[in-house]
C-alpha cells in the first residue's frame, strides 16, 4: 500500500507582549525555576513529537513593510515550527497539551502550508 504524502503545517507560538513584560518583572529566582521547568517540559514534548517536527526556531524583532515604507513593529509570535502530519486535525491535536499553553494568555496557531502554482 503506498504511503500518503504528509501535509506541511506552520505552527505559531503566541504570547501577548504585555504578558512577557510582566514576566520580566517577576522575581529572578521564581522566574529561573519556572523557566527551567518549562524548558524540561518543552524538551520532553519535542522528544515525544520529534518525528513530526521539521524545524522550531525563535522569532526575533519584527519589521512591517507597507506601501508607505518600512518600520519597526511588534506582534505576539515567540516561536514557530514547521511540522508534518497526515491531516490538519492531527497536527493541531498534537499541540493540545503543549507546555507553551501553560503561559497565561498564550495560544498556538496551526495552519496548513500549500505549494503555490502548478505541481
* Per-residue pLDDT reduced to its tens digit, 81-107: 999 999 999 999 999 999 999 999 999
The half-sphere exposure of 106 on its side-chain side, counting CA atoms within 13 A, is 19
Q: What local confidence, expressed as pLDDT, does residue 37 receive?
A: 94
Asked if residue 2 has pLDDT above 60, the reply is no
Asked if residue 4 has pLDDT above 80, the reply is no
Q: Which of 114, 89, 83, 98 is nearest to 15 (CA)?
A: 98
The H-or-E segment that residue 94 falls in is helix 88-94
Using the structure block, give the residue that is written with the C-alpha cell 511588534. Answer: 74
Confidence of residue 34 (pLDDT cuts 50, 70, 90): very high
Q: What is the pTM of this model?
A: 0.88
Q: Which of 76, 82, 62 is nearest to 104 (CA)?
A: 76
Using the structure block, give the residue that is written with the C-alpha cell 524540561. Answer: 40
Amino acid at each position: 500500500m503506498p504511503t500518503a504524502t504528509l501535509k506541511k503545517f506552520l505552527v505559531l507560538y503566541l504570547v501577548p507582549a504585555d504578558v512577557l513584560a510582566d514576566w520580566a518583572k517577576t522575581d529572578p529566582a521564581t522566574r529561573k525555576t519556572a523557566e527551567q521547568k518549562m524548558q524540561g517540559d518543552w524538551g520532553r514534548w519535542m522528544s515525544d513529537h520529534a518525528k513530526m517536527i521539521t524545524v522550531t526556531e525563535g522569532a526575533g524583532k519584527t519589521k512591517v513593510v507597507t506601501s508607505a515604507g518600512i518600520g519597526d513593529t511588534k506582534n505576539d509570535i515567540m516561536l514557530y515550527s514547521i511540522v508534518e502530519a497526515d491531516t490538519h486535525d492531527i497536527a493541531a491535536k498534537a499541540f493540545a497539551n503543549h507546555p507553551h499553553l501553560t503561559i497565561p494568555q498564550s495560544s498556538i496557531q496551526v495552519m496548513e502550508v500549500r505549494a503555490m502554482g502548478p505541481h
